[in-house]
Amino acid sequence: MNTRVANHPILPLILDRWSSRAYDTNAPVKREELAVLFEAARWAPSAFNVQPWRFVFALRGDAGWEAMLDLLIPFNKGWAEAAGALICICSEVDTLTKTPGQRQPSYSHSFDAGAAWAMLALQASSLGLGAHAMTGFNTDAARSVLQLPDNVRPEAVIAVGRLGSAAELPEGLRERDVPSDRNRIDTFVYEHTYGTSAF
């Protein structure tokens, strides 16, 4: 049950989105549904409109599923195996310059990929899908298994699926599978200088 309450008037969709670990193994995720999520991610903002995000996915039951699942640390694998899809969100660490064929380091590639993830997560929630991002995975193995180019950084793996019952989760996770609260804005927003409370 979602008991979140915002202190200021925000979109209900933002409060409704949360990172569940419980998925319904009998409700597969369709490629067409993933396409909708990637379309939402497509419209994220990025510095200079470079759009550095890249996605590699596998649907449960497909040939690439086990290899993607094996990238996760055991804790994450224990619950994510019930998801309908796994998505590795990556970012290009460099960008083209005005000189043809030349590239330069991108300062904001991870930041921009995070914006794409937020769009994807909100779209998933609006469709009744859960989306849970994990940084607990083997990044070196991801580079090899997913055949990532040298200039592409694996950022996170996202489990996507229809929400299931927390009772199906491994013991120790069941009680934790509820929407989490957030810090109040007066704990992280400052006016003029860092540490000067604004609210």
Domains of the chain: 29-164 (3.40.109.10)
More confident residue, 108 or 168: 108
pLDDT of residue 130: 96
pLDDT of residue 1: 65
**Whether pLDDT at 17 is above 80:** yes
Cα separation, 56 vs 88, in Å, equals: 5
Q: Mean pLDDT check: name the lowest of 3-7, 52-56, 137-141, 164-168.
A: 164-168
**Whether pLDDT at 81 is above 90:** yes
Cα dihedral 131/133/137/139 (nearest 10)? 120
Cα separation, 55 vs 37, in Å, equals: 11
pLDDT confidence tier of residue 49, bands split at 50, 70 and 90: very high
pLDDT confidence tier of residue 181, bands split at 50, 70 and 90: confident
